[in-house]
A and B are shown apart, each in its own frame.
Chain A
Amino acid sequence: MNRPADQPEPNPLREGLSARAVPQPCAIVIFGATGDLTHRKLVPALYNLAADGDLPPAVTIVGFARRPKNDDEFRHDLEESTRKFSRQPVRDEIWKNFAQSIFYHRSEFEDEAGYKTLAKRLDEIDKTHGTRGNRLFYFAASPNEFEPILKHLKAAGLNQTCEGSWARVIVEKPFGTDLASAEELNRIIHNSFSEAQTYRIDHFLGKETAQNILVLRFANAIFAPIWNTHYVDQVQITAAETLGVENRAGYYENAGALRDMVQNHLLQLLCLVAMEPPTDLSADSIRDEKVKVVRSLRHWSRNEIAANVVRAQYTKGAINGEPVVGYRQEKNVNPDSKTDTFVALRLFIDNWRWADVPIYLRVGKRLPKSATEISIHFKKPPAVLFNKDLRDVNVLVIRIQPDEGISLRIHAKVPGTSFRIEPVKMDFHYGTSFGKPSPEAYERLLLDAMSGDATLFARRDEVEEAWAFIDPIEEAWHAKKDAPELYFYPAGSWGPEAADDLLARDGHTWRRL
C-alpha cells in the first residue's frame, strides 16, 4: 500500500500514472514449477498482469523442477493451462511475447549443482532480459522441500544480491503444522533470507473485499465510534465450501479444517476486522496491529476447549441434489479418520475494544453453499417504543466471496396505517457498481512482492502467534484421554447441532447464508 522506506526516489515519469508501488524487473524462480499451483494460479496470474500492462516488460519466469523438460515443452504446458485457467482469454500475440520470458531449469531440489547452474542462468537472463539481478523465489513445492532448497540457494549465493538489487522469497502455506514446526520453518528460512525478504502468502488477503475491510473501517467515520464492545453484540466469520476433500486427502488428513483454514485465513480476516487503526499504511504498521489481535485472543484450558470449539466430520449426504460420500469414504482417506472437516469456535478478544464480545468462527467442507462472509451484529435498541424484540437487526455483512460486497440490515416501517416494522437490506455489490472485474488475489500479491510491499503478507510473529493459539486445541483433540468429541454432520447440512449449541448458550444463532 505504501512505498517501502528502503526504496529509492520514485521515477518522475510515473507520477500520476499509478497509485501503487511500482513492480521492479526481476526473475521469478518457481520451485515446484510443474505443480498445480504454477499451472492454475501463478502463471495465469502473471499472464493477466502482462496482458493488462501491469507487469514490467523485464520480468522472466524460471521454472525449477525435477521432471525432464525443455523450455519449449514447459512453455507449451503453461500455455495450455493458462488458456484453461486465465480470467481473460489468452491472446496469441501476447502469449508469444510473454512465453519468450519463460524458462525451465531441470534439477533435483537436493542437487547442489542444479543451483549453481541456476545462478549462472539467472546472470545470463539479467544480461539478455534486463532483470537487473532482482530475484523472486516462489516456493510452490512441498514444505519438506524448503530446507534443501533454501540451503542450496544460500550455498549458491542466490540469497545475496549486488547493490541496488534484491532477492525475496515467497512461501506458500502451510507455514508449519504447529508452533514448533513454524518456528523451525522460520529458522530455516532465516538462515538464508531475512524477515524483510520473506513474503508468506495468504491468498485471502489478496482478495479485494479483504483489502476493503480496512477502507470500510478507516475511511468511513461512521463506523469508528460503534466498532467496539459498546455497540457490537457479536461477530461471525464463516468460510463454507460445498467441495469435499477432492484430491488433497494426503495433505488434508494430517491438516484438518482448523490448521488448513482457521490458523491462517480466518484469523487473518479476524485481525482485519478487530485491529486498531494503524499509525500509517506501511506493511509493518498494519501487521503490528494485526498481531496484537491474535495475542489478545483468550487461551483456553483443556476443559474450556471442549466447551468453546466444536469439531466435526462430514458423512454421506447430498450437495445440490447430488449424493456425495462421507469423508471416511473419500479416496486416500483413512476409514477411521478423525480429521476435522468442520470447526466452529467461540472466541473472545481480551482487549479494551472487544471485551466480552463473542466472536464465532466456522469453517467447513461439504456445506450447503460456498461462501466466505464476515458479519458484525450490533446490539439491539431499547424495546420501549415499538413493543417488539429488535434483536439482531442491524447486521453489517462483508462478503469476501463470491459476489463480493457489503450489506447492512436495518429496520424499516412497512407502508400502511399500522406500525409494522420489518428488516430491510441495503446492499452493495462490487460486480454491480464497478463494471471492471477484480484481479485475482495472486495477481495483486505477486505484484506486491515485486514492488517490495509486504502489507498483504503474513509476518513471522503473526504466524507464530496464530499457532500458539491453535496448538492447545489440536493437543486437546489428540489427547489420549478425555479428548473432546468429534461430531458428524451429513454433507449438505450446516454442520452438527453442537455448533448451533455453541451460540445458543449466548442466545445467538448462526447467520443464515
Chain B
Amino acid sequence: MPAIADTNSLGFPVKLSQIDQELKKLWQESEGTATRASLVNLAVYSEDADALNKNTQLMARITESHACRAIVIEADCKASENRVEAWINAHCHVSSVGSKQVCSEQISFRLKGGCTTLLPSIVFSHLDSDLPFYLWWQEELREPMDSQLWAWVDRVIYDSRGWKDFRAQMRLLESAEQEAKQRIVLCDLNWTRLDSFRLALAQFFDHPASHHNLAKINGVRIDFAPGFRSTAVLFAGWLAAQLNWQNEKGEIANKVRFVNSSGGKIDIELRERAGEPIGEVAVETPQVEFLVTHANCGDLLEVSRGKPGEKRMPQLMPAGKNDPVSLMSEELMRGGPHHVYLHAVERVRDLL
C-alpha cells in the first residue's frame, strides 16, 4: 500500500510541477503490495469552502467500487491572492473479489484568485491518458462556458435539484454540448435519484398483457419531500415522454395536466410530504392502481397493484439511496447516452 495510509486526508502537499514524479514515488514506496487501477478520470469541481476535504471523503468511498483517477478541485475565484496548491493521495481498498489492495490516485488542487482560469490547463495536464473524462460539476454553471474545457469532457455530472434557474442552466449545458459536437453526455443526479422508482413502476408493465393499462392511465400522484419538487417534476416528464403525453399549458394547485394520444386527460398531482425525496407514486387507471411506496424498513420499495380497497400482495424491491456516493456510484455504473432524460426534460422544461 502506498505510504499515505489515511485515505480521507488530502495526502502529501506537492509542487504543481512535481505531481507526476511524486505520484511515481508513491507507487514505488508501495513495493508492489498494491495495484493501481483506473477506469476513468473523475474530476470534481466545487467553490465551497472546505470542498477539498468533503470531496476527498466522498472520493474515498466512491473509489471503493469505481477505480478512477480522482482530480478534486476547490476554487475560490473571489480571493485576492493568486495561488495554486496541490496534494496527492491514494484511496486503497481491499478488492471485493480477493485480498488485493486496489488503489485509486487522487490529485487535489486549491485554486485562488485569477488562477482559477487555469482550470482547463491544470486538469488536462493530469488526465490519465486514453481514459474517459468525467466532470462532476457541483456549482451553478456560469457564462462564459470555457469551450476548451467542455470540449474534453465525456460526461458532465451535476445535480439539477440545486439549480435556481433550471432553464438557464440547461441552456448553458446544451450550448456546451453543441460546441463539443454532442460528445458530452449530460448526467443529472436528480434523474439518477429516480432510477429505483422508475424501475419499480416500469416492471408493472413488462408483461405484454399489461401494456393496455398504459393507455388507460388517467391519474398520477407523486409525493415528494420538501426541496425535491424538481425531482417529482422530472418523474412526471419521464412518464409524459415515454407515454407520449402532451402538456396542457398551465399548472393548477400542484397539478399538471397532460393529454394522451387519444385525447384523454391525465392529471399529475404533486404532493409535498416529509420523508424520502420521492415518497410514493400512484398510477391510476379506471380499473387498477399501481403503487410504489417506501417500505417501513427504509431502503426497500414496496410495489403493489390492485383495485382501490382490495387486499394486495406487496413485493419488495431495492429503493436506492439519496446520498451523493450512492448516486454517483449508480451513475458511474451506467454508460451510453441519456436520451430518455433529455426527452423527459423536454416535456417539463417549463415546469422546472
B208 touches A8 (CB 8 A): yes
Considering only residues 223-262 of chain B, those with a C-beta below 8 Å from chain A are: 239, 242-243
B207/A15 in contact, CB under 8 A: no
Question: Using Cβ atoms and an 8 Å threshold, which residues of chain A touch B303?
Answer: 57
B317 at the interface (CB under 8 A from A): yes
Taking CB atoms and an 8 Å cut-off, the chain A residues in 371-423 that contact chain B are 403-404
Q: How far is it, in angstroms, between the C-alpha of A94 and the C-alpha of B301 when the chains are bound? A: 11
- Chain B nearest CB from A428 CB (Å) reads 10
Are A58 and B100 in contact, with the CB atoms below 8 A?
Answer: no
**Which of these, B39, B211, B300, contacts A433 with CB under 8 Å?**
B39
Q: A432 near B195 (CB under 8 angstroms)? A: no
When chains A and B are docked, how far (Å) is the Cα of A9 from the Cα of B206? 10
* A33-41, A48-56, A273-281, A498-506: which lies at the interface: A48-56
A435 and B202 form a contact (CB under 8 A): no
- Cα A14 to Cα B96 in complex, Å, equals 30
Counting CB contacts under 8 A, is A430 at the interface? yes
How many residues does chain B have at the interface if contact means C-beta atoms less than 8 Å apart? 50
Interface: A16 (CB within 8 A): yes
B316 close to chain A: CB less than 8 A: yes
Selecting from A17-25, A170-178, A456-464, A488-496, the interface stretch reads A17-25
Residues of B within 8 A of A19 (CB): 336
Enumerate chain B residues within 8 angstroms of A57, measured Cβ to Cβ.
203, 303, 315-317
A16's contact among B203, B206, B314, B340, by CB below 8 Å, is which? B340
Query: What chain B residues lie within 8 Å of A301 (beta carbons)?
Result: none
Whether a CB of chain A sits under 8 angstroms from the CB of B95 is yes
Q: Mark A231-260, 1 if CB is under 8 A from B, else 0.
A: 000000000000000000000000000000
CB pair B207 A25 closer than 8 Å: yes
| In the complex, chain A residues 178-219 whose Cβ is within 8 Å of any chain B Cβ | none
Known: A93-B297, A94-B316. A25 touches B95 (CB 8 A): no
Which chain B residues lie closer than 8 Å to A52 at the CB level?
318
Of chain A, the residue at the smallest CB distance from B238 is A13
B338 CB–A CB distance under 8 Å = yes
In this complex, what residue of B is CB-closest to A427? B35
Q: Pick the contact of A17: B202, B207, B333 (CB < 8 A).
A: B202
Taking the complex as formed, is A444 at the interface, i.e. its CB lies under 8 A from any CB of chain B? no
* CA A132 to CA B318, docked complex, whole Å: 23
Q: Is B214 located at the chain interface by the 8 A CB criterion?
A: yes
A59 to chain B, nearest CB (A): 9
The reply on B201 being an interface residue by CB < 8 A is yes
In the complex, per-residue mask of B189-213: 1 if CB is within 8 Å of any chain A CB, else 0: 0000001101111110111111100
Instruction: Say yes or no: is A323 at the interface (Cβ < 8 Å to chain B).
Output: no
Select B100's contact among A24, A100, A431, beta carbons within 8 Å. Answer: A431
A-contact bits for B277-308, CB 8 A (1 contact / 0 none): 00000000000000000010100100101000
Q: Which 7 pairs, one residue from A and one from B, show the smallest C-beta to C-beta distance?
A: A57-B315, A435-B65, A431-B97, A16-B340, A13-B202, A53-B318, A8-B208
Interface residues of A (CB under 8 A from B): 8-9, 11-19, 22-25, 50-53, 56-58, 93-94, 97, 100, 128-130, 132, 164, 403-404, 429-438
Q: Would you give 5 A-B contacts (Cβ < 8 Å), ordered by A? A: A18-B199, A53-B317, A94-B316, A403-B97, A430-B97
